[in-house]
Amino acid sequence: MPGQPMNTVTLQTNGTLFTDGMPVDAEPLACLGFKVELESGVTVRSLFAMLERYPLLTRLNAFFPTYLEQYGAAPASGCQCDDFSHIEFNKTVEMVGYPGEPRLEIYSSLVGAGGPEPREIRNYELEQLLDMPLKLGRLKHIVFGDKVDQFEFGTVFNLFEFIDGVVWELSFHGTLRACALRR
């Protein structure tokens, strides 16, 4: 029913998930559809700590084992860059081909934010991003047609979108060592 509050799960800085004021036990799958909120101070490292705490979640994406290996080999702190203040996870909805044969494309993005312009993170190693604050962004709605209209809205991310989307974006924007070795 519209307007009813969603169940919410909160990611804490140490990687623990909380819902209804209680930590989530070893079975986090029931929370995948819940609205995700991030405790103040959550970093990219917090996401990987969550994956270690709830290993079942690593089965959601084929890139997790490689990234967990890199995370484990990274220094325990100081993994930051000075090019932006935080990393932001956003959602974009594009209506393409309007008027005419319209189609809708929905995707997420992960950008370095907090500077003059958002920055792609493709040129940064995971070790430069782990201790960067991680924040949830907004929904950008873009209509491509005779002219381009762009709107921004507040939005909700569920836990699955957040986990899969961040690591999926890291796989394209971050330099995954497995990909870098092929160059």
Q: What is the pLDDT of residues 66-81, one digit of tens each?
A: 889 999 999 999 999 9
Tens digits of residue pLDDT in 128-160: 999 999 999 987 876 665 566 777 777 889 999
Convert the pLDDT of each residue in 13-55 to its tens digit: 999 999 999 999 878 999 999 999 999 999 999 999 999 999 9
The dihedral through the CA atoms of 128, 35, 168, 24 has a sign that is positive
| Separation CA 121–CA 16 (nearest Å) | 26
CB 94 within 8 A of CB 104: yes
pTM here?
A: 0.82
Q: Residue 138 and residue 154: Cα distance in Å, rounded?
A: 5
DSSP 8-state symbol, 127: G
168 confidence band (pLDDT: 50, 70, 90): confident
* Structural tokens at position 165: 């989307």
DSSP secondary structure letters along 3-72: TPPPPEEEE-TTS-EEETTEE--S-GGGGTTSEEEE-TT-BHHHHHHHHHHSGGGGGG-TTHHHHHHHHH
Chain-centroid distance of CA 21 in Å reads 23
Q: Which residue has the tokens 């939005």?
A: 155
d(CA 154, CA 101): 28
